[in-house]
Amino acid sequence: MIKPVISPKKVVSIIEKAGGRVVGKTRLQKMVYIMEAAGIDMGYDYVYFHYGPYSEDLSNHIEIATAMGIVKHTESLTADGKRKYSIYEIVKKTLDDATEADEQNLLLKKMNETDSITLELAATALYLKKEEGYEDPWEETSRRKPRKATPERLEKAKKFYSELKDINSRLPEL
């Protein structure tokens, strides 16, 4: 079956609704995956990757939006100067200023405001439950990500996911 071509408009809309700026490729991937799981069809397929759910199409669409001049992509170094991270910012506004804060906006802002490890752990647990059918996705997340999934971080990720679920009840129980 031929997959329909999806324009980068949806990913641009995500960045815009998240406040116009998203820091990190991994963050963007997890935000869009959670939106999909919340029943908001973004049109992306995901596979499990090192940092959790990953969509090649989403990655391509952000590159297209950047090439079109709608999104500005810059890279910066972490404080220790050892790793690069991406910053995506809206250059050309596509949404009306009068767009009211709806469920999507609330979810996106919540995800954009949390730290990247909490978002990664929550998205990974969600993927493991939804796509791979794990009874206890938190335990499997801990097994797959032992360095990141400390007890404190897992508790924070569980609380964060619960807050997302309060915003959108279509997210599955974990």
pLDDT of residue 43: 86
Band of residue 100 on the pLDDT scale cut at 50, 70, 90: very low
pTM of the predicted structure, to 2 decimals: 0.81
pLDDT of residue 163: 97
Q: Tell me which of 9 and 74 has the higher pLDDT.
A: 74
Average pLDDT over the chain, rounded to an integer? 90
Helix (H), strand (E) at residue 23: strand 21-23
pLDDT of residue 6: 58
Measured in whole angstroms, how far is the alpha carbon of residue 16 from the centre of its chain? 14
- Residue 126, amino acid: L
The angle at the Cα of 162, spanning 102 to 127, to the nearest 5 degrees, equals: 95
Any residues with CB less than 8 A from the CB of 147 and at least 6 apart, and which? none
CA distances from 107 to 44, 59, 82, 103, 145 (A): 18, 21, 31, 6, 25
Measured in whole angstroms, how far is the alpha carbon of residue 4 from the centre of its chain? 22
pLDDT digits (tens, 9 = 90+) for 116-171: 999 999 999 999 999 999 999 999 999 999 999 999 999 999 999 999 999 999 99
Flag whether pLDDT at 62 surpasses 50.
yes
Percent of the chain with pLDDT over 90: 71
User: Is the distance from CB of 29 to CB of 55 less than 8 angstroms?
Assistant: yes
